[in-house]
Amino acid sequence: MEFLRVVRRRSVLSETIYVLLNLALAAAILIVTISTGSPWLAIVLVLLSKWRIFAVRPRFWFAHVEANVVDIIVSISVVILIYIVGQSSGSSGVVVQIVLAALYAAWLLLLKPRTKRSYVAMQAAVAMALGSFALESISYEWPSSLVVAVVWLIGYACARHVLVSYSDEDSRFLSLIWGFVIAELGWLAYHWTIAYTLPFAGGLKLPQITLLLLGVSFLAERVYASYMTHQKIRPNDIMPPLLLVVGLILILMVAFNSASIGSSI
């Protein structure tokens, strides 16, 4: 019994330390980004926090990097969004920056540790949304090849994150294919960028491509889930998400495309 009490105390202590370290990371990237007026030092902090990736034999490094890419995408995206708010809103955007840091802490403590398949899909959706949001917000002067490469990485990482939860032997191959699909959409968005002004968001503008990527990714995941569950794609499984995504695309293309190319609504 004494041994069980010791184990329990150690478990509580380790859990407390884990929570405090994650809260400290969220607070640190907020403070560093605001105080320096640059995202680079905060990005370095994020990367340093991933030191455990390389705390194994080198032959496992690539697998560990792949497993952590989604978290890295979310972390760096939050840093970039905090930086953008600071540049566009100044001191008036501090509240938005604090909210972003709080949401990042929630990601670290509540969503990221979950392993249930539905939560894994949510993790990939968050990475897709924040990654494309941050990328489109800062890449308007980047070369198109670099933008397409980063979009491909986001698409590949998010697809692999979901497919691995199904233990599919072809997960890497399918992820590569999906990465190219997302990269093609990213290339189109590079030449046709529309963003929507968000109220009370400290100057952040939501890129249209973020909504489109989320829609088509959600539909693809539902199609794949139907096939893996029933060994065929059942119309009853995919019709609701198909109608939802088609409706979203039509609304975005018809009702919200009155702005000129490269502008925001």
Q: Could you report the per-residue pLDDT of 68-107, keeping only the tens digit for each? A: 999 999 999 999 999 999 887 766 689 999 999 999 999 9
Distance CA 79, CA 100 (A): 9
Element (H, E) at 116: none
According to DSSP, residue 232 is labeled S
Q: Same domain, yes or no, for 28 and 139?
A: no
Range of the structural domain that residue 100 is part of: 1-113
- The pair phi, psi for residue 207, each rounded to 5°, is -70, 140
Tens-digit pLDDT profile for residues 132-184? 999 999 988 899 999 999 999 999 999 999 999 887 778 889 999 999 999 99
Residue with the bigger pLDDT between 78 and 2: it is: 78
* Interatomic CA distance for residues 75 and 128, integer angstroms: 12
Give yes or no: residues 226 and 105 share one domain. Answer: no
Residue of higher predicted confidence among 211 and 169: 211
Q: Return the closest-CA partner of residue 48 out of 80, 21, 20.
A: 21
Please give the Cα distance from 26 to 40 (Å, whole number). Answer: 15
Residues 226-241: b if buried by 16+ CB within 10 A, e if exposed: beeeeeeeeeebbeeb
Looking at 113, 137, 160, the residue that finishes a domain is 113
20 and 82 fall within a common domain: yes
Residue 7 pLDDT > 50: no
Share of the chain above pLDDT 90, in %: 56
Structure tokens at 8: 């329990």
Q: 163 with 91, same domain? A: no
Phi, psi of 27 (to 5 degrees): -65, -40
Residue 259's pLDDT band (cuts 50, 70, 90): very low
Task: Look at residue 229 and tell me whether its pLDDT is greater than 50.
Answer: yes
Among candidate residues 97, 105, 157, 149, the one with its CA nearest the CA of residue 127: 157
Local structure of 251: helix, strand or coil: helix
Say yes or no: 153 and 71 in one domain: no
**Are residues 171 and 148 located together in one domain of the fold?**
yes
- Looking at the fold, whether 61 and 122 belong to one and the same domain comes out as no
Mark whether 130 and 261 lie in a shared domain: yes
**Which of 74, 96, 113 marks a domain boundary?**
113
Tell me: pLDDT of 9 over 70. no
pLDDT of residue 60: 83
237 vs 260, more confident: 237
* Residue labelled with tokens 């979203």: 248
Give the chain's domain count.
2
* Contact (Cβ atoms closer than 8 angstroms) between residue 230 and residue 161: no
Tell me: pLDDT of 6 over 60: no
